[in-house]
Chain A
Amino acid sequence: MIRFFRGLVGIVIILALWQLGSFTGLFPQTYIPPPTTVIPRMFELFGPAFNVADTSSTSSHFVSDLVATMLTWLLALLIAIGIAVPAGLILGSVPSVRVATRVIIEFLRPIPSVAIIPLIIVMLGSGVETKITLAVYAAIWPILFNTIYALDEIDPLLLDTARSFGLGKARTMFTVGLPHAAPFIFTGVRLASAVVLIVVISVEYLAGGVIGIGKFTLDWASGSGRQDVILAVTILAGVIGYLLDGGFLKLQRVLFKWNTVEAGK
């Protein structure tokens, strides 16, 4: 409990400085409203004022935007896992495949998702496919590399043990490689989760045309210049990211107890 409160010290100081800045007029209130305005606004986002049952404007229903963003997050993360884990298992256990794909992977990896937005829009339009594709693209890397590295670090004696019991290559990959790599893969997924959230919201903001909290922010920024609403959404996105990460960490501790104990030795 004490640790929990200690963790809050930083955030309390920032909020206090922010409030002080607004109070003394250092931050002009029109651009940076004080936390006393922004934080209540964050809760109001879920209230009737921002959830008008009017379908003519997409920016009028925050909760559906939030649900859309989170569903996209989940879908993109699942697709990325579905691609990156099998690919990582193959790349991690067949050196010739790894060497053969090395150049293409090293070429693709540093390209930021945001940079290929125009290309993807031309190819897929600006619908939900676009943000999913871009988020998947960004999320693949941490999962893929964590899978490959985990297989690299596997103790050769474990593999020999499996072989000495007559297990073939494929079977060894699933019964030894995969469980060994699981905690590392999970860490990759946790890192990817944050990346996906960032990319999904960015693409919603930059590409438009879809519902989601990025689009919601864009609408409130371009029309009314309601800085308080924009900051409220920003902080909420931060809170969501924080909670997701915390959830993943908790789950990791429960699922991979054997690994944390080993590491703690």
Chain B
Amino acid sequence: MTPMLEVADLRHTYGSGPTAHTAVQNLKFEVAAGELACIVGPSGCGKSTLLRCIAGLIKPSEGTVSLHGDKIDRTPEDLAVVFQDYSRSLFPWLSVRGNVEFPLRSRGVARAERRKRAEEALEWVGLSGAGAKYPWQLSGGMQQRVSIARALACQPSLLLMDEPFASVDAQTRFELEDLLLRVRHEHESTVLLVTHDIDESVYLGDRVLVLSKSPASIVADLTVDLPAQRDQITTRESKNFVALRSEVARLLHNQPAAEPEPVVRPASSAAEDEAAAQRFLEAEREQTRQTSR
């Protein structure tokens, strides 16, 4: 059986020449259908780069990403991403329902069907009845629920989550983690979740992939041997959980320090153009500010 997601020999380097910065290299892993895999790595190790390569948002320098056997070279239709920053990824001019319907609209789903699927998705995340509200009228946790509903409404074969619970308070975080576990069991979704939180990766995952420091590659692929039904208190107390989280922590902390990488992103010619355009705009803006006074 082909795995849902297959990442083969992935490498991505920003820029070229002496200032080039390799964010990820030698990445190779698979995610089976119905699995929830967590990727955990030190901050700045290239987790986001990996996720963006999988989402088709950037083209990797080398290697391939395949979704149920098809190579990804642009953003695939049956994939949805939940970003960390819900407040910046929801469209403020659209109501909650409008946000959830947004991806369906661009996929040409008929109006009635769209409405139905949006209502369903909002119900899954416990927000039925909030459809007519606007994102700014909701709390942070509720906004992230909207993003999750929006992703689920697409019925994606792969749900990508980029540190989805990193910007909410601890209590909300537990709620959202359990919400994710419930929803994925109900819908047998395949989820790839990136996080820097060790406990979260063990609590949520069927598998935990541990990344090295930059340039990131996989140092361990651990199967989480915990019952499918998890509980914020008892699971976190269990021997298996404690042992696993210690193992992940050790893997993360005992890595030999990588050579310091220059953080400066080298400018390709396109980036130079962009920078020039930015400077030009800044000057213009300044001028307008002065004249409008």
Question: Mind listing 7 A-B residue pairs with CB under 8 Å?
Answer: A96-B273, A161-B81, A164-B80, A164-B81, A258-B92, A262-B92, A265-B136
Which A residues form the contact surface with B (CB < 8 A)?
Answer: 95-96, 98-99, 102, 145, 148-149, 152, 155, 157-158, 160-161, 163-167, 171, 175-176, 179-180, 182, 191, 256, 258-259, 261-262, 265
Establish whether residues A95 and B273, one from each chain, have CB atoms under 8 Å apart when the complex forms. yes
CA distance A95 to B85 in the complex (A): 26
Establish whether residues A179 and B91, one from each chain, have CB atoms under 8 Å apart when the complex forms. yes
At the interface, yes or no: B76 with Cβ under 8 Å from chain A?
yes
Establish whether residues B92 and A166, one from each chain, have CB atoms under 8 Å apart when the complex forms. no
Chain A residue at minimum C-beta to C-beta distance from B77: A166
Establish whether residues B103 and A165, one from each chain, have CB atoms under 8 Å apart when the complex forms. yes
Establish whether residues A160 and B83, one from each chain, have CB atoms under 8 Å apart when the complex forms. yes
CA distance A95 to B76 in the complex (A): 26
Task: Report A263 CB to chain B, min CB distance, Å.
Answer: 10
Known: A96-B273, A99-B276, A165-B102. A176 touches B91 (CB 8 A): yes
Establish whether residues B75 and A98, one from each chain, have CB atoms under 8 Å apart when the complex forms. no
Task: Tell me which residues across on chain B come within 8 A of A262, comparing CB atoms.
Answer: 92, 136
Task: Report B262 CB to chain A, min CB distance, Å.
Answer: 23
Known: A160-B83, A165-B154, A259-B92. A148 touches B102 (CB 8 A): no
CA distance A145 to B154 in the complex (A): 36
Interface string of B121-134 (1 = CB under 8 A from A): 00000000000001
CA distance A104 to B280 in the complex (A): 14
Task: Tell me which residues across on chain A come within 8 A of B107, comparing CB atoms.
Answer: 166
Task: Tell me which residues across on chain A come within 8 A of B88, comparing CB atoms.
Answer: 155, 157-158
Known: A165-B102, A262-B136. A102 touches B280 (CB 8 A): yes
Task: Tell me which residues across on chain B come within 8 A of A259, comparing CB atoms.
Answer: 92-93
Within 8 A of A (CB), among B98-115: 102-103, 105-107
Establish whether residues A165 and B89, one from each chain, have CB atoms under 8 Å apart when the complex forms. no
Known: A161-B89, A262-B136. A99 touches B83 (CB 8 A): no
CA distance A161 to B274 in the complex (A): 21
Task: Tell me which residues across on chain B come within 8 A of A145, comparing CB atoms.
Answer: 284, 288
At the interface, yes or no: B57 with Cβ under 8 Å from chain A?
yes
Establish whether residues B80 and A179, one from each chain, have CB atoms under 8 Å apart when the complex forms. no
Task: Tell me which residues across on chain B come within 8 A of A256, comparing CB atoms.
Answer: 93
CA distance A102 to B280 in the complex (A): 9
Chain A residue at minimum C-beta to C-beta distance from B283: A106
Task: Report B144 CB to chain A, min CB distance, Å.
Answer: 13
Establish whether residues A158 and B89, one from each chain, have CB atoms under 8 Å apart when the complex forms. yes
Establish whether residues A98 and B93, one from each chain, have CB atoms under 8 Å apart when the complex forms. no
Task: Tell me which residues across on chain A come within 8 A of B56, comparing CB atoms.
Answer: 164
Task: Tell me which residues across on chain A come within 8 A of B80, comparing CB atoms.
Answer: 164-165
Establish whether residues B136 and A163, one from each chain, have CB atoms under 8 Å apart when the complex forms. no
Chain A residue at minimum C-beta to C-beta distance from B84: A157
